[in-house]
Amino acid sequence: MARDGKPTRDKILTETKNLVFCNGFSGTSIDQILDKTGITKGAFFYHFKTKNALAKALIETYAEEDMSHLESALQETESLKETPLKRLLQFVQLFIDMMMTLKEPPSCLYASYSYESNQFDQETMDIVSDSILEWRNTFTELLNKVLVENTPKKDIDVQSLSDQFVVIFEGAFVVSKALNDSDITAKQLQHLKNYLELLFD
Amino acid sequence: MARDGKPTRDKILTETKNLVFCNGFSGTSIDQILDKTGITKGAFFYHFKTKNALAKALIETYAEEDMSHLESALQETESLKETPLKRLLQFVQLFIDMMMTLKEPPSCLYASYSYESNQFDQETMDIVSDSILEWRNTFTELLNKVLVENTPKKDIDVQSLSDQFVVIFEGAFVVSKALNDSDITAKQLQHLKNYLELLFD
DNA sequence: ATTATTAAACAGACTAGACGGTACAAATAT
DNA sequence: ATATTTGTACCGTCTAGTCTGTTTAATAAT
């Protein structure tokens, strides 16, 4: 048939993501993307019908990667499933370790999109909310298993405690970017781990 | 002289802030601002030399209001200064109460600007980081007074624990917007309060 | 093995409209 | 009367998107 277009498509997605993290989506022009990727308008609009089609493909790809992070963290802690608290803490620890390796402030497309949500259609924004709800539900499952065996030291609302995982990520990303300090996220997650230990130990 | 321009200027600032929260700054055009405010281009460019001058004035105003929230929370808890832990907890409680009155998801310009920081000059972004550092420093002072009398149940890093206040705000705002749930922020702050109680009680 | 065919992948000039910004006249209040 | 404030027509640039044509590589016929 013809040459393989996947590398081009992937390059567009990768470079656009990096641009969006510091320019926002509206602030990222197609010409900028062409500069960064070295491709041309013809190639771009062959792969994406409109700029907003790119926005949707970008968040889809991002959400898929995000969900696979979630899955692999679940798998890596599955050996601890008989000790739910240990598993929960190890689950958090995995992300602490991950965040400790960062060399520059991290970013999240969910936050970026949420702060200019008018630019996107409902389907695109639904991917954002669905992904966040996946994290909530996963954490809730882990927490409910803990609650069978451990009595919390304080009355807690399981759903909002589940949300705290994503909340700390998102908040730490913002502060990390604002202060240009890449160490913040790991440290903030450590506080969540402390909290869980104090609650259930 | 002539008529008073301050109402016009204030209206521009208020409406722009609301637009930026859902369109981003790049995604907010001057024409949109004119539509929302009902003023004209002549008036706009009389008050702000460029669009970016508006961006700077906007974050300045926002930071001033933010700092006055900080100040008034300090004042409202000053009667508890002899019992540092009580004061710290009451300080957090004030913001829980404030967040419980919200009827729609809140937003923060610091986060909005940080996710399109390339659009702004250094001075503008410095206002963001300075403001966040003010919150950190204030919280650190409160915490240090607690530490004189209370021994934490876990080894903690004071600076990152101070940051957690802003981190939870910023993260809760993002999740609140993404899920369109205005109750999230108060609940998340409650977990911070729980954590502090478990740490120091 | 060489060539012709075909569809995918890409190149780049072009367009219509939106954008930030300007010029200057008109209006307002003292 | 005069400085401040506002209205409006206008301009050059940038933007997303189109159009037409060219290149690439797998396939099929010679």
* CATH number of residue B15's parent domain: 1.10.10
What is the pLDDT, as a whole number, of residue A59? Answer: 98
**Residues B131 and B170 reside in one and the same domain:** yes
What is the pLDDT, as a whole number, of residue B4? Answer: 73
Whether residue B1 is predicted with pLDDT greater than 60 in this model: the reply is no
- A44 CA, D18 C1': Å apart: 13
Examine the fold and report which residue of A11, A31, A48 is the final residue of a domain before the chain moves on: A48
What is the pLDDT, as a whole number, of residue B121? Answer: 97
Angstrom distances, CA of residue A102 to CA of A95, B2, B97, B111, B117: 11, 56, 36, 20, 20
B175: containing domain: 51-200
**A194 contacts in chain B (CB < 8 Å):** 154, 156, 195, 199
**How many domains does one find in chain B?**
2
**Residues A137 and A124 reside in one and the same domain:** yes
Whether residue A171 is predicted with pLDDT greater than 80 in this model: the reply is yes
**Residues B77 and B32 reside in one and the same domain:** no
**Residues B134 and B154 reside in one and the same domain:** yes
pLDDT digits (tens, 9 = 90+) for A9-55: 999 999 999 999 999 999 999 999 999 999 999 999 999 999 999 99
Whether residue B133 lies within 8 A of chain A, CB to CB, comes out as yes
CA angle, B28 then B29 then B33, to 5°:
90
**Residues A64 and A134 reside in one and the same domain:** yes
**Residues A169 and A81 reside in one and the same domain:** yes
**Residues A98 and A147 reside in one and the same domain:** yes
A31: number of Cβ within 10 Å: 10
**Residues A24 and A71 reside in one and the same domain:** no
What is the pLDDT, as a whole number, of residue B6? Answer: 82
**Residues A125 and A42 reside in one and the same domain:** no
What is the pLDDT, as a whole number, of residue B3? Answer: 66
Look up the CATH number of the domain holding residue A188: 1.10.357.10
Angle between helices B6-23 and B51-76 (to 10 degrees): 90
**Residues A91 and A176 reside in one and the same domain:** yes
Sign of the alpha-carbon dihedral angle for B39, B42, B48, B54? positive
What is the pLDDT, as a whole number, of residue A201? Answer: 87
Whether residue A1 is predicted with pLDDT greater than 90 in this model: the reply is no
Q: CA nearest B187: which of B92, B111, B74, B72?
A: B92
**Residues B26 and B72 reside in one and the same domain:** no
pLDDT digits (tens, 9 = 90+) for A41-52: 999 999 999 999
Burial of residue B44 (CB within 10 Å: 0-12, 13-18, 19+) is buried
Which of A21, A125, A167, A200 is best to mutate for the B interface (most B CBs within 10 A)? Answer: A167
A179/B116 CB distance under 8 A = no
CA–CA separation, A160 and A163 (whole Å): 5
What is the pLDDT, as a whole number, of residue B7? Answer: 83
**A118 contacts in chain B (CB < 8 Å):** 22-23, 27
Whether residue A18 lies within 8 A of chain B, CB to CB, comes out as no
Residue with tokens 């969900």: A67
Confidence of residue A170 (pLDDT cuts 50, 70, 90): very high
**Residues A105 and A27 reside in one and the same domain:** no
Across chain A, mean pLDDT equals 97
The count of residues in chain A is 201
What is the pLDDT, as a whole number, of residue A5? Answer: 78
Q: What's the helix, strand, coil split of chain A in %, to 5? A: 75, 0, 25
Residue in B with minimal Cα distance to A183: B160
CA–CA separation, B75 and B55 (whole Å): 30
